[in-house]
Amino acid sequence: MNHSFSRRRPSGFTLIELLTVIAIIGVLAGIIFAVLGNIRRSAQQTQSLSKLRNIGSAALVYASEHRGGLPVWHNYTTGTYWWRTLQPYIGEDLEAFHSPAHTGFDPSTPDRFTETMSYGWNYAVSGRHVGDPNRGSNHSLIVNDFPNPTKVLIAAEAQESAYGFIAADTPPAQGRYGENVPSVFLDGHVDSRPYSEFLQTAPWFVGPKEVPPYIPTPSPQ
């Protein structure tokens, strides 16, 4: 008698099929993580722009109450930095000066906060100092000194350990939000500008009033 036999495929997946499925899952997971990362970074950037908008609004309110005068980066006569000047208009919560993507922020002590705050005052343009013993005259400005406030950069994301300032030789922080830098301007509007724009002195670090030159204090004889 002739018997016919049928070959049946074993149940389950072969090794090749399993590896293929794992590879597909890996690719999909990578895409999902990248998308979620972009969404998170975009949300953080939006938060940073909101905080900068509050800083810009506070600076304008301060100016309206001080005959148009803008805060200076550091008032040596009172020991007050710009962020302390604006706190009455923003609130006491130091998170107002923390960009969400800035991991080096440290508010544990006043000195550490001043050193590591996320945002920098454009002291080359917006006002550097009052009463600096190493400079011949004060560098403070008023809103009317600027013919086009929409083009006046007053603050932006600051580099690590920048002590809350930006300038031509200390440009804003790079890379927290890709190639763009959240910034605020004298008319109060905010924008994310390409980092490459801040590597040139003009137009962002050229003000209507030059910073007085540094004059070293003579050493005691």
Is the pLDDT at 57 greater than 60? The verdict is yes
The strand ranges marked E within the chain are 74-75, 80-81, 119-122, 129-130, 153-157, 165-166, 180-185, 190-194
pLDDT band at 220, cuts 50/70/90? low
pLDDT for 26: 79
Confidence grade of residue 40 (pLDDT, cut at 50, 70, 90): confident
Bridge partners (DSSP) of residue 181 are 193
- The residue extents of the domains of the chain are 18-201
**pLDDT value of position 13:** 66
* pLDDT tens per residue across span 152-185: 999 999 999 999 999 999 999 999 999 999 999 9
The reported pTM is 0.82
